[in-house]
């Protein structure tokens, strides 16, 4: 791994420092994935829109909640 912003030495202490940086980056990525998954689950439990394609027969209101689309819902039923 080569960094343009960090001056990491080529010696044994550089190996240790590089592994600490890599470990912190991996930890940050794993923690962020957990937080995003938790947030998406909470939104789904509250029937909030998480993004993507809106199911046919529904619309999304200003509060990001699903609502039955009065125009398309009869066709789906």
Query: Tens digits of per-residue pLDDT, 17-73?
Result: 889 989 999 999 999 999 999 999 999 999 899 889 998 999 999 999 999 999 998
> Which residue, 52, 59, 53, is CA-closest to 73?
59
> Which residue, 50, 53, 54, 77, is CA-closest to 67?
54
- Given this model, what pLDDT does residue 8 score? 77
- Does the pTM exceed 0.85? no
pLDDT category of residue 4 using cuts at 50, 70 and 90: low
User: How far is the C-alpha of 27 from the C-alpha of 18, rounded, in Å?
Assistant: 14
Domain residue limits, the chain: 1-46, 50-77
């Amino acid at each position: 791994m080569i960094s343009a912003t960090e001056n990491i030495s080529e010696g044994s202490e550089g190996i240790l420092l590089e592994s600490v940086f890599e470990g912190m980056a991996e930890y940050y990525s794993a923690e962020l994935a957990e937080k995003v998954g938790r947030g998406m689950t909470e939104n789904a439990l509250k029937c909030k829109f998480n993004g993507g394609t809106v199911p046919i027969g529904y619309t999304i209101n200003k509060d990001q909640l699903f609502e039955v689309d009065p125009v398309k819902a009869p066709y789906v039923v």
